């Protein structure tokens, strides 16, 4: 006990003096960093072309598909109360029966090109597709297990068809892969405790490596992996193996994008390493969740994956919870993009390869909005130098500011509040149709910020959320710039 207190005191003292040294400019970032072997590989954002492209997607599609789509969240007339892709974990569902579902998997209605066309029309820039979920069933003909699509009545490679069809539509493909695999005897939840478990676990690690190398070899067009099922102590304890595997994958496939959910650092920290730097290329924790302010992201890239019902990713015959409307999903799309993230909307095709009617309608409606307003989403960045207002969200592309209006003010006036010494508005128009908005200089507020009123066209009714484009003229601190801009 005594030695423990002494050690803690020493550590505290060292950290304090280190901090003082760091503050005088010792550490490049002006803060304490502990050297890590398996921490973040690149604190802060990646700036290469692949990552720039990822950042510009704005909207993505997630697809969860597997044998769980056959029961569709139901067994024996009863509805499972959890996410349909987890039904194997339901006590009432006999394991034996689940593990034989693949013998019925024959999605004759599956048409990868039709899927890709639907995603293209929706305006998706990328797809995340489940190659293997927790149940271990592989949608590609893996050499390393028999539990694959090749051994179903359908036989054909589904991952290959999806990768080809989406790539042909110009949609980048990312492969979802669950490390946790309920079909592999070698999978453990806890670190191996004896020789027998050690051997099984080593076999499982090699199996995982083999499958990942196989996916990269089979589908070289893919842009990245979306890892899942990495939260158990067994995998968390494999920082070195996972880090080396990650480096191997990256070396084989330059530009590969991997999120924060693949591996831990050597202290078992997930997402952020011991120094608070993000592990991986973007923050994957925003699952069915959107940050409330940009500071929460600590300067990292991120995306938000969203289910249409409250939870549940795989096909469920009945959605037992409230399902989001296209309006709400669009609002999330604008919100995520206003915070520099992408929104990824999940779809769960049924056992025959069809999307439910609700999903088709949502995709079509989002697509119609994206056709008109997509430039405010794709390649757009969070707006800078302008304050958020209650009418909605803002994105920016160079000198083009986009106002995403979700709450149309009753007086039809949009208030614009610029930081002092930033911009004044030039041309202001609706993205839909180009109608110009009247601009009124409303002076300055108490904080000396510049205020403007934008008048929505009289008599026009908006059927849904709309976007106003504001040309930004750099004020450069000149109080008369707005008057000059008007002449």
**CB closer to ligand JFZ, 285 vs 360:** 285
Write down the least CB distance from residue 208 to ligand JFZ, Å.
17
Write down the least CB distance from residue 142 to ligand JFZ, Å.
19
Cα–Cα distances in angstroms (integers) from residue 476 to residues 398, 481, 482, in the given order: 15, 8, 11
Write down the least CB distance from residue 305 to ligand JFZ, Å.
6
**CB closer to ligand JFZ, 64 vs 356:** 64
Write down the least CB distance from residue 346 to ligand JFZ, Å.
7
Report the DSSP beta bridge partners of residue 12: none
> What gap in Å lies between CA 430 and CA 234, rounded to an integer?
54
**In this structure, is the dihedral angle defined by the CA atoms of residues 204, 209, 214 and 219, taken in order, positive or negative?**
positive
**CB closer to ligand JFZ, 305 vs 428:** 305
Write down the least CB distance from residue 65 to ligand JFZ, Å.
11
Binding site for ligand JFZ (CB under 6 A): 64, 83, 85-86, 228, 285, 287, 305, 313
**CB closer to ligand JFZ, 85 vs 238:** 85
**CB closer to ligand JFZ, 332 vs 481:** 332
Write down the least CB distance from residue 13 to ligand JFZ, Å.
36
Name the phi and psi angles at 400, rounded to 5: -105, 115
Give me the residue whose beta carbon is nearest to ligand JFZ. 313
Write down the least CB distance from residue 84 to ligand JFZ, Å.
9
Side-chain-side CA neighbours of residue 78 (13 Å): 9
> What gap in Å lies between CA 106 and CA 146, rounded to an integer?
16
Write down the least CB distance from residue 285 to ligand JFZ, Å.
5
> What gap in Å lies between CA 73 and CA 348, rounded to an integer?
12
**CB closer to ligand JFZ, 13 vs 189:** 189
């Amino acid at each position: 006990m005594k030695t423990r207190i002494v050690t803690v005191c020493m550590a505290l003292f060292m950290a304090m003096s280190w901090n003082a040294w760091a503050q005088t400019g010792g550490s490049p970032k002006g803060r304490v960093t502990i050297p890590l072997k398996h921490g973040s590989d690149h604190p802060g954002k990646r700036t290469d072309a692949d990552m720039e492209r990822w950042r510009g997607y704005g909207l993505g599609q997630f697809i969860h598909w597997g044998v769980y789509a056959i029961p569709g969240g139901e067994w024996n007339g009863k509805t499972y109360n959890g996410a349909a892709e987890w039904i194997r974990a339901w006590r009432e569902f006999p394991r034996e029966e689940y593990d034989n579902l693949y013998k019925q998997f024959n999605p004759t209605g599956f048409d990868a090109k039709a899927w890709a066309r639907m995603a293209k029309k929706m305006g998706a820039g990328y797809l995340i597709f489940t190659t293997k979920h927790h149940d271990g069933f592989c949608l590609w003909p893996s050499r390393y297990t028999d539990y694959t699509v090749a051994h179903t009545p359908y036989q054909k490679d589904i991952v290959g068809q999806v990768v080809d069809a989406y790539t042909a539509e110009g949609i980048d493909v990312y492969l979802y892969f669950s490390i946790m695999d309920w079909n592999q005897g070698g999978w453990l939840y806890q670190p191996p405790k004896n020789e027998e478990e050690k051997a099984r676990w080593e076999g499982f690690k090699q199996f995982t490596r083999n499958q990942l190398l196989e996916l990269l070899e089979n589908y070289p067009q893919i842009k990245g992996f979306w890892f899942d099922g990495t939260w158990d102590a067994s995998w968390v304890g494999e920082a070195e193996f996972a880090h080396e595997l990650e480096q191997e994958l990256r070396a084989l496939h330059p530009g590969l994008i991997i999120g924060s959910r693949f591996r831990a650092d050597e202290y078992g920290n997930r997402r952020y390493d011991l120094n608070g730097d993000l592990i991986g290329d973007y923050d994957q924790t925003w699952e069915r969740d959107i940050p409330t302010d940009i500071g929460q992201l600590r300067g990292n890239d991120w995306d938000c994956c969203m289910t249409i019902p409250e939870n549940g990713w795989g096909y469920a015959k009945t959605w037992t919870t409230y399902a989001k409307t296209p309006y709400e999903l669009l609002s999330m799309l604008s919100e995520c993009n206003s915070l520099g993230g992408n929104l990824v909307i999940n779809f769960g095709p049924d056992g025959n390869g069809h999307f439910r009617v609700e999903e088709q309608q949502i995709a079509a409606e989002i697509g119609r909005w994206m056709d008109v307003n997509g430039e405010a989403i794709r390649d757009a960045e969070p707006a800078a130098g302008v304050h958020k207002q209650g009418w909605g969200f803002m994105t920016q592309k160079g000198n083009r500011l986009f106002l995403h209006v979700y709450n149309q003010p009753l007086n039809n006036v949009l208030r614009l509040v610029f930081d002092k010494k930033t911009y004044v508005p030039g041309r202001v128009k609706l993205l839909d149709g180009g109608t110009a908005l009247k601009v009124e200089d409303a002076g300055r507020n108490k904080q000396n910020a510049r205020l403007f009123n934008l008048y929505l066209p009289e008599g026009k009714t908006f059927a849904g959320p709309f976007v106003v484009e504001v040309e930004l003229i750099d004020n450069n601190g000149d109080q008369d710039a707005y008057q000059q801009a008007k002449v």
